[in-house]
Amino acid sequence: MSMVLAFLGFNANAQDNRLSLNLNYNYSFPLNSFRSDIVSKSSPRGFTGNLMYAISPKFSIGFATGYQDFYQKYDRQIYNLGKGQQVSAVLSNSLEQVPFMARAEYYPLGNATTFRPYVTLGAGGNFINYEQYLGEFGSSNSSVGFRGMAGVGVKVPLGIMQNWGIDVGGSYDFAPYHKFGMENLNTANVHAGLYLSFQ
């Protein structure tokens, strides 16, 4: 009986933890014109992080950010530079994205189960740094654009107090980019990491 009461006590404490900090490893897949015009390779170089506040057992709001680095080097080809000029060179593209978004999470089951599936939406800005090198000659461009996100995932509480655990999920990011003849920097992502809840 005392063990049952202790368990219920730990559950109550876990539910009182209003703030939650997430840090996740992120693997990203370029889509649409991003994939065809800049980088076709997926990126293993990324992370996401968010700080959330639970306004109820089913809803949390907060701030999200992250970093993703895309890079690809293409085989040597002949490129036309205009006015009858051509060059044989290796082309490399590098693009970094740093989002900063407001984020909301919805837990349809609340705290009723150990596994906590969720859906999430986010919207805000996107810092973009694009570099292209044609042999030794390079150019770069930095800009800020819109970023939207929709995702799903599940959190699995661990520990006696259940105030930390594992977060696994996926998301789709919408990022318009109307430069250099391109339309967007949309990506599909999978993530895995840890979260910590506290008062």
Average pLDDT of the chain?
86
* Mean pLDDT of the 38-65 span: 95
Burial class (CB in 10 A: 0-12, 13-18, 19+), 3: exposed
Q: Is domain 2-198 classified as CATH 3.40.50.1820?
A: no
pTM, two decimals, is 0.83
9 pLDDT higher than 60: no
Domain ranges in the chain are: 2-198
Q: Identify which of 122-131, 135-144, 190-199 has the greatest average pLDDT.
A: 122-131
Counting Cβ atoms within 10 Å, is residue 134 exposed (0-12), middle (13-18) or buried (19+)?
Answer: middle
Q: How confident is the model at residue 17 (pLDDT cuts 50, 70, 90)?
A: low
Q: Give 159-174 pLDDT, tens digit per residue.
A: 777 789 999 999 999 9
Higher-pLDDT residue of 101, 7: 101
**Tell me, what's the pLDDT at 1?**
42
76-112 residue pLDDT tens: 766 666 666 666 668 889 999 999 999 999 999 988 7
Q: Label residue 198 exposed, middle or buried (CB < 10 Å: 0-12, 13-18, 19+).
A: exposed
**Structure confidence at residue 53 (pLDDT):** 97
Residue with structure tokens 């293993």?
44
DSSP state of 17: -
Give the CA distances from residue 90 to residues 78, 81, 172, in Å, rounded to whole numbers and listed in that order: 9, 14, 31
Which 8-state DSSP code applies to residue 180? T
Is 70 exceeded by the pLDDT of residue 10?
no
